[in-house]
Structure 1
Amino acid sequence: MAGNPRNGRPYRRLVAAVKAQRHPCWLCGYDIAPGLDARHPLSFTLDHLVPLSRGGSLLDPANARSAHRKCNSSRGNRTEARPQQRASRRW
């Protein structure tokens, strides 16, 4: 397969299907505004429950989740939904 598989028609269909469901961000629980510019931190992105770098499927709808861009970026390729909270100061 040549090029980026995320530019293909099957991936774009999956993104459109997940976005049409209008689920809240699975990481923070807040709604995702549909009209935001794609570069906005609170815009929609498709996140994968099992990250692609850890063997998750790119096109499996069961692996696809709605997320804010900033939530998706902050999660990285970790498998847990929320990173552990840090203490406010050293004890």
Structure 2
Amino acid sequence: MKQRLGIAQAIMEKPKLLLLDEPTSGLDADGVAMLHDLVKRLKAEGVTILLTSHIREDITALSDRVLEMESGVLKALDPAPI
């Protein structure tokens, strides 16, 4: 419930930029599905979303562009992994 509350607080003010750090952490399957739907809707509305995750499924399902950090260096993965 704390994770859902944090997500609700983050989107309450209709931000143009949304930073999400491991947003599916602590969510059940319904919560993950809800978050995926929410992120897709916000993207369609023009919100820029920066998402960090260790869960590859979240990254591939939600990202237009994927960067990976290795040894402190960001590298673009192009095309994004599927």
Normalising to structure 1: TM-score of the pair? 0.30
**Bigger Rg over Cα:** 1
Normalising to structure 2: TM-score of the pair? 0.33
Larger strand fraction of residues: 2
Larger helix fraction of residues: 2
